[in-house]
Structure 1
Amino acid sequence: METEDLAAFLSRFESDTFVLAAAEKVGFAPGQCRFLIEMFANEARTYTPIVEQRIKPDMKVLEIGSGLGFVSLWLARRNVNVKQLEPTAGPFDVFAKLATEIAACSGRVPPDRLTIGAEDLDPAQHGTFDFLFSFNVLEHVADLDRAMAAMATVLVPGGTMLHCCPNYTFPYEPHLNIPLVPFAPTLTKRLFPARITAQKLVWDSLNFVTARRLRRLAHRNGLEIELVRGQMAGQIERLIADPIFSARHLGNASGKAIGAVLRAARSMGLLALLSQVPPDLLTPMTAIFRKPMVTS
């Protein structure tokens, strides 16, 4: 019987022993290896419960953009019928070797991995799924129109997709921690050339997805869509309470000042007001897509 909890499962990969051994095996510097493992393990701690509460027995599940694979590996340990999708090319292919090493040391047969883009999903070739999910992936999909259409084809009638990603209607870019000129990435690039040059691969991968675009794609592909309220308030709470997440986003001097402002806003009850703002205007967004049942 499985007795290990999620925290214990993830902590084994964050140990000095594993980090040093993995770094040597995959050819990363230990510091780089530790950074990636801690970042993805921390994301898994946040997002895995969101997935687990939506999974029912006998569901077929697909994770889109599995990264280092922690969420899918954990679900497989819980006997969930899960597959991973993670392209091996592009700006994030540095994860591939480390993800393979993590899977090999997970203690179970890892989930099948599709090394294709989401836009290449085909029900005849890859099967169909009851539940698809992704976290911080949709904003990096080069051809989001094709990807959403393909994901809709492998979703069974009555199935659900859950995608968490930034909403670029809100003028902020969370990967680079810079404000955006609304709907004008090119102008933003002119205002922050040094920051964007330093993270060029990430910047070039962004499609600047918006809530309006997701609603349009849902309609085009015959899907119902719901944007969950309260996601920005939850993100701010995480910035205050989660030291790893906070260090990534508020680690510099200006970030510490922002953190102080956020804590003051919470103490005054201002975060609760964000839950009253339409989610189409805020970031990040959690979008739930449902494929209607076929009716005769």
Structure 2
Amino acid sequence: MTTFLESDEELVLLTSCADTAEASLVRSLLEAHGLTALVQGEHHHAMQGMMSELQEVRILVKRKHLAEAQAVLDASSVPDEEPASPPPSAGSTIAPAPGPAKLEAPDTRRARRRKRLAWAVLIFPFVPFLIRLFEQDASSRRTEVPSFADDHLFLGEVLRHLRRYGEAELHLRKAIALYRQRFAASERQAASLQLAAVLLEWERPVLAVSALEEELRAIPGSAEESPERYLRLEALALAHRFANQHEEAVKVARRALALGERLHGEAHPELLDLLETYAGALRALGRGEEALVLEARQQRSSAQQVP
């Protein structure tokens, strides 16, 4: 009598798909990463016609590749919700519990998943080539010219979506420095906001605060009442809140709100995210009544945007 032992070559279930189109996207994504996948039930699903909705298609991979394949799927799935705020530090007031989760129909979630997989299949195979091409071109240049800043910005954005935050930070800082040389204010703003987003997603809010404060100091006096300054102040308030620096978050949010009202008006949708950040910082400091006023204002502004 022999004992059955699990083999690394054994096929195991990775995930189930609603139809063959979604299964093809998953298989293409895995093959782009050098992983072999078997679609089980593909032909049977196609022959069932209208009854095929009752039969799921299964994706099988070798047991030794299961963890790697799951990591590929997880990396290609971008959540639709906003990231949760970091937990409060010791001694700070506990933030209010989040509101009820938004429910979506299964068909909507399935369509979003299929869309994310389709983009991942299209983008992932070309990213290593783009990075190699960029690095070869960069190494062939002894000095960088300002026009090369756009390439750094593009690569920084791509690497951010791949969650390679360390490399993304380097490219975005290079882009900011090069834009500063040619006084390209709008492009520099895009790079600085991307850098702040990278540092926040990388859970380095203190570095995000430092980078945004440096950018604010670099804004000329003639641009004190500009949308660029408002966007940086809004991002800085959020960075302070993520760093649990709630007093600073309230001060910056107050300045940003005053500027935003002068630029856009009190009910403009541009202020909605700032109002949420401002109210959250006030609640973290135990100033719930002030936060309620801002939350009520945010709700009224949101209702006005609904057609």
Query: TM-score w.r.t. structure 1 length?
Result: 0.30
- Greater strand content: 1
- Greater helix content: 2
Greater RCO, CA 8 A, separation 6+: 1
Query: TM-score w.r.t. structure 2 length?
Result: 0.29
